[in-house]
Structure 1
Amino acid sequence: MGRIAYVNGRYVPHDRAQVHIEDRGYQFADGVYEVIAVHKGMLVDADPHLDRLDRSLRELRIDQPMSRRALMAVIRELLRRNGIRQGIVYMQVTRGVARRDHPFPKVSVPALVMTASRKPPPDLSVLETGKKAVTVPDIRWGRCDIKTVGLLPNVLAKQHARTSGAYEAWMVDAQGNVTEGSSTNAWIVTREGQLVTRPTGNEILSGITRASVMDLVKREGIDFVERPFTAEEAKQAREAFITSATSYVLPIVQIDDAVIGNGKPGTIARTLLQAYLAHMEGAGASR
């Protein structure tokens, strides 16, 4: 059986799923999205993801497409129909269909689409090798805290990383500070052994995996601070890594031409990855 998608109240074959040409998400990027990891048939950090979806909708003044309970029922049914045990659920809510005009329509019905796909967990051999990141100017708008579908700057950054032979692009603001990765949050461990990540604000997305890892940092008793850090400081760090729902905790061993530490994943990244894997099996999992 082929993949099944959910489109505005109907479960349909993935290859025949359609939205209207005047959906405002298509024409204006007037919509938001969330991605939830599925691990062994369980949703990872589902409530925090849906809380962030609610916040994004409020910030753009888009109505809820349905209740939390109904949304969870759709997610579970979509996973069942697709037989997903390991993968992701993608959900997108737009302001809906209206005549093309910049102001909000006087009347609109939010459009909800959802897909589920298989995706293997990250290869843990990365703990022996790590990944490379490159830096790019951050050219995004001023409300990166809203998880909108307007991702063209992120796409360009990620493509630059790929063509540069890197896994991720770290975006750098006008002050020379790292904001975040094109689809991840960025972390470093200073030469003195302090873990650092940028504080949340309008400049970055408040990552759900980031928040879970911060809880694990506190539990592990790791010296930690939230503050901006420059790309140059990152290149001189003892360790660097990224976090996201699909990358988990992934070590970065090179930024541009600079080798990080001894060129191998560090102990803090290793510790936090193992702690996060346990979190996925326990407190972070929900049906």
Structure 2
Amino acid sequence: MKPFCFADGKIIPTESATIHPMDLGLIRGYGIFDFFRTVNYQPLFLEHYLDRFITSAERTYLPLPYTRQQLRDIIVELIEKNDLENGGLRMVLSGGVSENHFSPSEGKLFIFAEPLVFPSEEKYQQGIKLLTLEYVRPIADIKTTNYTLPVWHSVNWKRLGAEDVLYHWNGWVSESSRSNFFMVKDGVLHTPDQHILLGITRKHILQVAGQVVIRPISLEEVWEADEAFISSTTKVLLPVTQLDERKIGNGKPGTVTMGILEKFRELEKETVA
């Protein structure tokens, strides 16, 4: 964490931030968050992240007592105070302390500034392994703080040589634990349309990729894919070259995948120019 955060309605030393031990964020795992990057001191795609965060607060019945402009101003000040040239900002809205210890209440807004380390270049060049996991994330279209299953499951990932998981249910794939999923077949890009978070990086990949088929995708199709990759704020795009113990395509990052990564990086440069 960087030295300063936003909490209790003001910017304070990060080490001073506190939350009530009976907050629903702790006792029920109920809250929302969002995370975005800074590039050359500019928050990348900020308005899209604010759209999602504000909508998530409304849909989870959590009061957000700040306007969009107030959030912008806080973020700009945090970037300056933390000298956050290239890093991350995490907005968290907790579930609050409620009378019955269950119903959503007036929570607490935190905004933390963080250093950000991308995956190693080796992972971009050689690809990563995912493990299949039968699961549907609760209210998947909202970015909640409930990551209990993947955090528990992740204890085994390193031992099994995996980067993350690929969720599937009744034979249909959805997403990774912290990323959206794409596959390529016969040169055409496909991505799931159900039980997913509408990722901001995903949104911009759809923009730069051109033709993309958004539809239900079966696990069997993924086994037969030519290429696959995951996308997220903290990775941009990571090629997936292995699923469980089977190779995807020829087991190497494909030309479509790497071409999209290059286009996204160009979009990023144009956005912060």
* TM bin (shorter chain): over 0.9
| Partner Cα separation in structure 2 for residue 23 and residue 70 of structure 1 | 24
Q: Paired residue for 1:47?
A: 47
Deviations 1:133-189, CA, capped at 9 Å, x for gaps: 111111532x1111111221232344443332111110111x211110010001111
Q: Paired residue for 2:13?
A: 13
Gap change, CA 1:2 and 1:68, over 3 Å in 2: closer
Q: What amino acid maps onto 1:196 in structure 2?
A: H
- Asked whether 1:131 is paired with 2:158, we answer no
SS in 2 for 1:51: helix
Question: TM-score of the superposition, structure 1-length normalised?
Answer: 0.88
Aligned residues: 273
- Asked whether 1:208 is paired with 2:189, we answer no
> Cα offset for 1:24?
2.1
Q: Paired residue for 1:258?
A: 246
Correspondence for 1:144 among 140, 161, 164 = 140
| Partner Cα separation in structure 2 for residue 120 and residue 281 of structure 1 | 18
| Partner Cα separation in structure 1 for residue 38 and residue 261 of structure 2 | 17
- Asked whether 1:232 is paired with 2:229, we answer no
> Cα offset for 1:230?
2.1
Q: Paired residue for 1:29?
A: 29
> Cα offset for 1:49?
0.8
> Cα offset for 1:249?
1.1
Correspondence for 1:178 among 170, 173, 177 = 173
| Partner Cα separation in structure 1 for residue 124 and residue 102 of structure 2 | 48
Question: TM-score of the superposition, structure 2-length normalised?
Answer: 0.93
Gap change, CA 1:139 and 1:228, over 3 Å in 2: closer
Q: Paired residue for 1:187?
A: 182
Gap change, CA 1:160 and 1:229, over 3 Å in 2: farther
Kept in 2: contact 1:157–1:182 (CA 8 A): no
Gap change, CA 1:123 and 1:207, over 3 Å in 2: same
- Asked whether 1:217 is paired with 2:209, we answer yes
SS in 1 for 2:262: helix
- Asked whether 1:156 is paired with 2:152, we answer yes
Q: Paired residue for 1:168?
A: 164
Say which is worse superposed, 57-66 or 203-212, in terms of deviation.
57-66
| Partner Cα separation in structure 2 for residue 103 and residue 131 of structure 1 | 40
Gap change, CA 1:36 and 1:227, over 3 Å in 2: same
Gap change, CA 1:277 and 1:159, over 3 Å in 2: farther
> Cα offset for 1:125?
4.1
Unaligned residue ranges in structure 2 (runs of 5+): none
SS in 2 for 1:136: strand
Kept in 2: contact 1:85–1:118 (CA 8 A): no
Q: What amino acid maps onto 2:191 in structure 1?
A: T
> Cα offset for 1:6?
1.6
Correspondence for 2:116 among 114, 119, 125 = 119
Gap change, CA 1:22 and 1:127, over 3 Å in 2: closer
Following TM superposition, where does structure 1 have runs of at least 4 consecutive aligned residues deviating by more than 4 angstroms?
Answer: none
Q: Paired residue for 2:266?
A: 278
Q: What amino acid maps onto 2:91 in structure 1?
A: M
Q: What amino acid maps onto 2:26 in structure 1?
A: Y
> Cα offset for 1:122?
4.0
- Asked whether 1:197 is paired with 2:185, we answer no
SS in 2 for 1:162: coil
Kept in 1: contact 2:22–2:101 (CA 8 A): no
| Partner Cα separation in structure 2 for residue 13 and residue 169 of structure 1 | 35
Gap change, CA 1:41 and 1:2, over 3 Å in 2: closer
Say which is worse superposed, 109-118 or 266-275, in terms of deviation.
109-118
Q: Paired residue for 1:62?
A: 62
Gap change, CA 1:165 and 1:186, over 3 Å in 2: same
Compute the RMSD of aligned alpha carbons: 2.0
Unaligned residue ranges in structure 1 (runs of 5+): none
Amino-acid identity (%): 29
